[in-house]
Amino acid sequence: MVYLNGNFIAKNQCRISVMDRGFLFGDGIYEVVSVYQGKIFSLNEHLQRLQKSLDSVKIANPHTQKQWLEICNKLLSYAPKGDYSIYFQITRGVGAERKHDFETLTPTVYLQLSKLVLKGKKLLSQGFSAITQEDIRWHRCDIKSTSLLANTLYAQNAKENQVEEVILQRNNIITEGATSNVFILKNNILQTHPTDNNILAGITRDLTLKSADACSLEINESTFNRDDLMSADEVWISSSTREIMPINKIDSQAINNGKIGKYWNCVYDHYQQLKND
Ligand code: PLP
């Protein structure tokens, strides 16, 4: 069951117009929210970011917070209790003709559930690999836009290289992962790119910083380069569906001899507690 414009229907029954600007231009915004055993995690934070993204591209939010919650709960009521991610997509809507500029349209609203399969601590503790690549995305990475062509190319590259993530660099600065935020830890200082137009302000990024604080780490939200990345004691990536994942090999080179650091352990455990609060 999925949600489309006020209706809960089977996915194969969904129809949208070819004149939808999401189809023609990738003119839309999305969000991804995790659900743990029926409990929606950090929904308010995701809805706040959704509002910011919509405001940035001049799409009116079609629902109140209360209505979004009702839609999510009803969608979840059709599925067996478990772990899911909820994908929200709001496009600008259906125009009369294909033209780049727009007038006010009725947004198209689509939500679907996907099973969330978490890796678990034992598997995560083995560490994951990444590669670095030039960040070719546009300069408004703070907007969670459905225009994801660069990200799809990165994901394909990750698959072809059999790595978990592509870590991006722009002007010799590590920005973020293709679908995650990036952290480095050196001498008990946790560093991550500051929130500006070059990265998406990850909800998990915020919670990782909160957990790092609880683990007595010093936090430094400032830019760092590939040399800093490669010489870090620990490298992590974060996202709602991956949570906090240790990266111990980048561009085929081991990070800190491939060891998983003790701070990841602490921060990961604290994050699990936040999920249960
Ligand atoms: N950065 C990018 C480019 C992303 O696509 C994502 C998530 O999909 C993130 C960061 C992490 O965001 P969040 O923690 O809110 O899932």
pLDDT in tens, 95-125: 999 999 999 999 999 999 999 999 999 999 9
pLDDT for the residue 261: 87
Catalytic residue among 39, 52, 119, 144, which? 144
pLDDT for the residue 276: 84
Question: 192: buried, middle or exposed (CB in 10 Å: 19+, 13-18, 0-12)?
Answer: buried
Domains and their CATH numbers in the chain: 2-117 (3.30.470.10), 121-276 (3.20.10.10)
pLDDT for the residue 237: 98
pLDDT for the residue 185: 98
Q: Is the C-beta atom of 175 inside 6 A of ligand 1? A: no
Residue nearest to atom 3 of ligand 1 (CA): 179
Distance CA 183, CA 197 (A): 17
Atom of ligand 1 nearest to the CA of 204: 14
CA 237 to centroid of ligand 1, rounded, Å:
10
Tokens at residue 6, please?
């006020």
Q: What are the residue ranges in the chain where pLDDT is below 50?
A: none
Question: pTM for this one?
Answer: 0.97
CB 151 within 8 A of CB 179: yes
pLDDT for the residue 168: 99
